[in-house]
Structure 1
Amino acid sequence: MLFSLGDFSGLDHNHGGQYGAFEELIESFVRTLRDCKISPYVVLDGGTDPSDKKLETVTQRILRRIRKAHQAAVEGKNENILPPLTTMVFKQSLARLEVPVAQCFGEADQEIAALANKLGCPVLSDDSDFFIFDLSAGLLPIKHFSWTEVTQRGSQRYIPCRSYRTSSFSICFSISCKMLPTLAVLAGNDYVKLHRMGTPISWGEFTPAGSETWRSLEGLLCWLKDFQEPGDALQAAVGLMEGLSPQKKAEVLESLFQGMEEYRLPPSSLHVFFTKGTARLTRDVLDVLQMQRMSLSIHVEHKDTPSANLTSRPLRQVMYGLLLGGGSPLVVQERDRVGLQLTSTPVQPAALPERRQVLLEALKVDEASLNCLWDHLRLLVAVTCFWLQNAKPTPDEKLLKALLLGLNLRADRNICSRPKLDLMEAHAFNQWQACMKDAIQLNQLLGCPLAEPQLAGLYEGPVVHELVHRMKTTGRLKAILKSDSSSQRQYRTLLTAVHRIQSQRMSKKKDPGADPKSLRRQRPLDDLTVNLQQLFLHDDEAAAEVKSAITAQEDLLLVEHLSVPTRYRTKDRVNRSKNPELVRKQEARGWHIL
């Protein structure tokens, strides 16, 4: 369902994602279901099957995504490469909407089918395996589920759709329902590739006489009509594979029987444990625990740029240390692209300090630097600072400002004109998303010591790219900020906080033994950014802008200055009143923050 909604949406995937619009799409979908008296239950896939029987299939899919992502970056076409935070937005949205969600440890198909039969409800999916499972209430293919075209009869609302049942299929093609798993393994599925096991079978020759074309699947269906038992059909199929040794035929037959087991439904376990909020561990975490392997996200970027995932590798190493033990002899194989190829790189888990400091030390920030921020902004600021320090090439000030300003302009879709994709800008923002994704997974693994931000409000890709474009072509963005004073204030608060942390890092490099608190006290209250140049402004509009910027800085430093004796503040007010022009010039130093 996640991929179907993402493909259906028509949203811009190439500029890093329109998460706010995607969240609205999920809300609309769930609201439509509930308006029609439908209660959805969502079951998600977990990690990779430990047997690796789908490894070849998964690898080929990743390679296709790598090629499509490069093509999307070069040509600008939408190749449906889902942005890296899409799954997290999906989970957060379902949790907020109180939709029951469960996540399996491995493939979810069998559990979904078993749960559907237990509840007596249909399955909504486009996965071809559900055409084989014997589902008591049938299958609703998503591509025929017209949820945007609701009809009404009396007081009841309906969603036009098509329902598929194995019994109808069996009647149509005159084969027994129990032969459908045999059809699946002989036709080839994610687990069994018969044409790669030996001499391929030309099923097309079994099509009825007079057929204009030889269609492989139709020929296989005609051939299966003569069998009533799956075992007999499999034995006969192996017999059609000429030139195989008896040992090879036995191996092929065993693989076919193993493939059949994928369609045997176990008793449902999910109906007992199906509660809200169970989908906490991501499939990445499960893969690290079970397989010591992680397949990283594919971003829309040029093949000649390094993978954006390299930037956040230090965060993943900390996560590996938590999962496998710091200093563990085990390594995690990271599957990521190099050029257009998929490679596997061994990565050593990091040795860890005390767990409560793990997240902050991984992000290279101290707790005091974040205490002056609202809870929901702390992880965002920490990740952004980590990105500035680790991204290659280092993001410039325009990219930082566009990113932070874009966080406050999610609802303003008029800003977005979808400029042509700038590959270097896209690479920089891809690295930020990779850092955010891995930081959130690490934060979840630690029990969320920092509040988890709502991702749908974090990043609106086309808006951020448009802001960079405007800064390059028209200069400042003050006209955009004028319309919303709260956004203006939060933007300046975020930018000031990031600059302060970056300034402290630079000071620490120059003087590693310095106390962080003393470093913060070295900055005058009115200084808004690092190395500000004094500007002289004299118009009322400039004064108003500066006042807003100063207010944001005062908010950040309020806690630190509460202990200043009153007599010093009184003296400061007296000095300021004696020379208002000097004060005006000092305050004007904050203007170029835009």
Structure 2
Amino acid sequence: MGIRGFTSFVDSNNNRLLQDHNLHCTRVVIDGNNFYHFLYQYLHVKHHYGGDYDVFYKKVKEIFQMFEECDIKPFIVFDGGYEADGKKLKTTLTRAKNRIHLAGFISHGGRGRILPILAYETFKTVLVDMGVPYIVCDFEADSQIVKLANHWHCPVMSNDSDFFVFDLRGGFILFDYVDFRLASPEDPQTGKTYHCLSVQLYHIDHFAKEFPGFDKTLLPVIAVLLGNDFIESSLFENFFHTLKSAWSKSLPQRHQRLAAILSWCEDYKSWEDAVEKILTYVPKESRDNLRLLIHRCIRFYIDLEESFSLSDFFDSDSNTALQQRTDEIKSYNGSLAPSWFISAHRSGAIHPFFLNTVVLHRNVLLTQVENMKVASSYSTSERIRQVMYGILLKDDSCTPIDNLSGPSQDTHILEYTRDESKNLKKTLLESVNSLPNFGQLPGLSQLGNISTGQRVDMILEVLSVPNTFLELWSPPLQLLACVIVYWILQSQPKVTRYHYHALLVCIILLQSKTRIRQLKQNSRHYKHEQETEDVSKDDILSSTSNEGLSDPKTQSKQSCQEADPISQICVRSACEKATESQLTQFLQKVDKHHAKFAPVTKCSPVESAITHGSSQFQACLLDGLHINQLLQSPLEHPRPHTFFSGVFLYNFTKELRSRSKPLSYISDILGPKSPMSAVFTQMESFISKHIGEDCFQETGTGKKNSKKKGKKKGDKKKTDYAKSDVRSENSDNDLPEMVQAACELDNRFSCLLLDV
């Protein structure tokens, strides 16, 4: 949420209100939503081209490894859906509008930062891989975070200024006041050094000591008067005109009001009395409604209700807590959601998107950096959402009063997205209640009776692929391959072959980087054994093939090793068969596309023709992940950091567009006779056969030549895509100029609140 101006007030008085502290050997409760927003920007991960999830994953993992070294035990608590009373709707829609305009600004070379839409999934993947416990609250998490932290007497970490007001026994640490570098001070008692993070700790008692005449129980009144997501400070202008403070004039103007309020509060010992005095400055006809609003806002800080016990969940490591009070969550039309659905939401097995759908019949789709003059990228994945809505709404059906009543939010889902004029638009989207080859869709209460095979069939029909196509791919690639097919078939405007081929190479690239890191680690690990035992290189590769490359919670850890490489495509297996030399040569050739970021300016803006295709893919993948979650993950869940790198996709798509023989170029960088080239050929062949030849946008090369030469070059490109063998040893020799890295000029925190 956030209190207007409170953080900057504390920042200006940090020597008085904050205490230096070495954080180690403790539990901390972390505001999950705030943390992954903060980290994406603090770690300077690129965002212009849809998200560098591979970089984000690696850097976030390093943060949690740092916590381990300091013996800090983090517990992550995420927000859930939006409250049914709609008290934050205005704020949510304002942020959605701001995000639309910011996305357009960035696409034209302007400065700003937008959190890519798969950052949440990537962050959760790190938590799973690192064994970091997390939970998702039913709705806003603040009060439950406070209760959990006070139960453990440990600090809360967040950048949400609301936590300045809560009475936290273990204190509050803003991420902005954490030095995320290991410190190794000496313990004055033992003389031994230890690892810690240097932080500045806030405690409500510190605040009360700095203002002796002020009662800390009145802090919620200050939060209301300054304004937050629930109430506007403009409602109290008449009251503000009466405030006077002898010492506030020495403060910056933005802090004078807060200081004056603090001085005024010294005359009151209860928040109720203070509120009644404030209301005397409000017109009589508005007092009752405003009183109710103020009381509700204040009780947010003092009445710490919880829908289920987080301490029961974390302390007992049991799912029993997930079953608490599930009957209190009701759908939009008043029916009860199944307990399994609420438990899945709380455990993070399904996205909060589903709770918003069931409770509110409303979703806000986050705008991406894309072509703002055409329909939103989410229009490509609309059919997937319609099927999900059919399942989610079936048990909550409401028949219109008559046939003339038309669509309403009772029977449809209200979606907020952008239009072609960069405005926020509302659409009542009708659900799909049956599929031709599947029949009537089940409701939430019936999903438990549907077999795994039937749930797979449902996904395949939604994504327009047959079972025979699915069988071609190893489990880690199955859902991803299906989404790629759906993306190509449904994209409007159509994507190009450059987008498609760049994505396939990106999958191989990221798996190759993982493999080469593993080989280097294993080389160091087995160095001593190699000196004492006669172990062949093949034996070493075989003994390490199952380590470190798979999600420990997926249902088929060794699926790539067990898969027949002839009958099933497995990129990981291909990279394991490659020699270290082949992998190294490939990575050296593509490093300029993966590691280099071209500055985005008004003179050199983002090419929306490229980014829009990637944004469409991300929208399709997000909804593909969602429907797989809703159907209780019958297919292995794709991990964004293993196949999507926005900078690489943008650079490499642009590079392929400039080539007269793009497939020959791909063959050259993969290595004509390498396993990576072979697996690219397999993937390209199987997908291309399924989608046909007319599914792509036909474009010429990107080279600036004379008209005659340009026409000839374009003809060569078309012939190359139609007839060339991707394993051909012929390749272009005209390498592009090296793209230079940009300086990081953005304000890293300026847009934290633009994501809803």
Band of TM-score, shorter chain: 0.7 to 0.9
Match of 2:219 among 160, 180, 203: 180
1:492 Cα deviation after fit:
2.2
- SS of match in other structure, 1:159: strand
Name the structure 1 match of 2:688.
499
Name the structure 1 match of 2:608.
423
Distance 1:536 1:372, change over 3 A: closer
The letter of the residue matching 2:498 is K
1:253 and 1:272 map into 2 onto residues whose CA distance is 36
Distance 1:365 1:535, change over 3 A: closer
Match of 1:116 among 138, 146, 149: 149
The letter of the residue matching 2:414 is Q
- SS of match in other structure, 1:409: helix
Distance 1:194 1:470, change over 3 A: closer
1:307 Cα deviation after fit:
0.8
1:219 Cα deviation after fit:
1.1
The reply to whether residue 30 of structure 1 matches residue 215 of structure 2 is no
Q: How does 1:470-485 map to 2 (within 5 A)?
A: 470-474=655-659, 475=662, 476-482=665-671, 485=674
Distance 1:534 1:66, change over 3 A: closer
> Are the counterparts in 2 of residues 179 and 230 from structure 1 also a CA contact under 8 Å?
yes
The reply to whether residue 190 of structure 1 matches residue 375 of structure 2 is no
The letter of the residue matching 2:219 is L
Distance 1:63 1:200, change over 3 A: farther
1:43 and 1:281 map into 2 onto residues whose CA distance is 15
- Which deviates the most, 126-135 or 232-241? 232-241
- SS of match in other structure, 1:206: coil
Match of 2:257 among 184, 199, 216: 216
- SS of match in other structure, 2:501: helix
The letter of the residue matching 1:363 is L
1:434 and 1:228 map into 2 onto residues whose CA distance is 53
Distance 1:132 1:486, change over 3 A: farther
1:303 Cα deviation after fit:
2.9
> Are the counterparts in 1 of residues 182 and 195 from structure 2 also a CA contact under 8 Å?
no
> Are the counterparts in 2 of residues 418 and 465 from structure 1 also a CA contact under 8 Å?
no
Name the structure 2 match of 1:336.
417
Q: How many residues align?
A: 515
1:442 Cα deviation after fit:
0.4
Identity percentage of aligned residues: 25
- SS of match in other structure, 2:195: strand
> Are the counterparts in 1 of residues 149 and 155 from structure 2 also a CA contact under 8 Å?
yes
2:93 and 2:491 map into 1 onto residues whose CA distance is 27
Name the structure 2 match of 1:437.
622
The reply to whether residue 301 of structure 1 matches residue 370 of structure 2 is yes
The reply to whether residue 250 of structure 1 matches residue 288 of structure 2 is yes
1:236 Cα deviation after fit:
0.7
1:380 and 1:326 map into 2 onto residues whose CA distance is 30
Name the structure 1 match of 2:714.
none
Name the structure 2 match of 1:270.
310
Name the structure 2 match of 1:521.
none
Distance 1:486 1:103, change over 3 A: farther
1:321 Cα deviation after fit:
1.0
- SS of match in other structure, 2:179: coil
1:460 and 1:204 map into 2 onto residues whose CA distance is 56
Name the structure 1 match of 2:170.
137
Q: Cα deviation per residue 1:232-268 (whole Å; 9 max; x = unaligned)?
A: 1001111133xx12x3112211211111111122367
1:493 Cα deviation after fit:
2.3
The reply to whether residue 90 of structure 1 matches residue 126 of structure 2 is no
Name the structure 1 match of 2:654.
469
Distance 1:109 1:209, change over 3 A: closer
1:57 Cα deviation after fit:
1.2
The letter of the residue matching 1:118 is H
> Are the counterparts in 1 of residues 371 and 611 from structure 2 also a CA contact under 8 Å?
no
1:20 and 1:27 map into 2 onto residues whose CA distance is 11
2:260 and 2:502 map into 1 onto residues whose CA distance is 58
Distance 1:468 1:536, change over 3 A: closer
2:367 and 2:225 map into 1 onto residues whose CA distance is 32
Distance 1:533 1:406, change over 3 A: closer
> Are the counterparts in 2 of residues 321 and 327 from structure 1 also a CA contact under 8 Å?
no
2:131 and 2:207 map into 1 onto residues whose CA distance is 36
Q: Cα deviation per residue 1:252-288 (whole Å; 9 max; x = unaligned)?
A: 1121111111112236711112359911221111100
1:2 and 1:324 map into 2 onto residues whose CA distance is 31
1:199 Cα deviation after fit:
5.0
The reply to whether residue 455 of structure 1 matches residue 640 of structure 2 is yes
The letter of the residue matching 1:110 is S
- Which deviates the most, 200-209 or 301-310? 200-209
1:352 Cα deviation after fit:
2.8
Q: Cα deviation per residue 1:169-203 (whole Å; 9 max; x = unaligned)?
A: 111123112111111112211112242x4754326
> Are the counterparts in 2 of residues 113 and 133 from structure 1 also a CA contact under 8 Å?
yes
Q: TM-score, normalised by structure 1?
A: 0.82
Name the structure 2 match of 1:282.
351
> Are the counterparts in 1 of residues 208 and 215 from structure 2 also a CA contact under 8 Å?
yes
State the structure with bigger RCO (CA 8 A, min sep 6), 1 or 2: 2
Q: Cα deviation per residue 1:136-169 (whole Å; 9 max; x = unaligned)?
A: 0000110011112533433410101000001111
> Are the counterparts in 2 of residues 326 and 349 from structure 1 also a CA contact under 8 Å?
no
Name the structure 1 match of 2:140.
107
- SS of match in other structure, 2:416: strand
Name the structure 2 match of 1:74.
108
Q: Cα deviation per residue 1:302-321 (whole Å; 9 max; x = unaligned)?
A: 43232111110100111111
1:532 and 1:7 map into 2 onto residues whose CA distance is 39
Match of 1:352 among 420, 430, 434: 434
> Are the counterparts in 2 of residues 151 and 160 from structure 1 also a CA contact under 8 Å?
no
The reply to whether residue 57 of structure 1 matches residue 139 of structure 2 is no
The letter of the residue matching 1:187 is L
Name the structure 2 match of 1:547.
none
1:505 and 1:327 map into 2 onto residues whose CA distance is 41
1:348 and 1:396 map into 2 onto residues whose CA distance is 30
2:725 and 2:125 map into 1 onto residues whose CA distance is 47
1:290 and 1:540 map into 2 onto residues whose CA distance is 56
- SS of match in other structure, 1:140: strand
> Are the counterparts in 2 of residues 204 and 218 from structure 1 also a CA contact under 8 Å?
no
- Which deviates the most, 158-167 or 471-480? 471-480
> Are the counterparts in 2 of residues 69 and 301 from structure 1 also a CA contact under 8 Å?
yes
Q: TM-score, normalised by structure 2?
A: 0.65
Higher Cα Rg, which structure = 1
2:299 and 2:682 map into 1 onto residues whose CA distance is 58
Structure 1 runs not aligned, ≥5 long: 507-529, 544-594
2:376 and 2:484 map into 1 onto residues whose CA distance is 18
Distance 1:149 1:63, change over 3 A: farther
Match of 1:232 among 273, 281, 293: 273
Distance 1:483 1:140, change over 3 A: farther
Structure 2 runs not aligned, ≥5 long: 1-34, 187-191, 319-345, 399-410, 439-453, 514-586, 599-603, 696-718, 732-756
> Are the counterparts in 1 of residues 243 and 261 from structure 2 also a CA contact under 8 Å?
no
Distance 1:269 1:227, change over 3 A: same
- SS of match in other structure, 1:134: coil
1:47 and 1:249 map into 2 onto residues whose CA distance is 31
2:728 and 2:149 map into 1 onto residues whose CA distance is 66
Q: How does 1:520-559 map to 2 (within 5 A)?
A: 541=729
1:535 and 1:179 map into 2 onto residues whose CA distance is 74
Distance 1:327 1:432, change over 3 A: farther
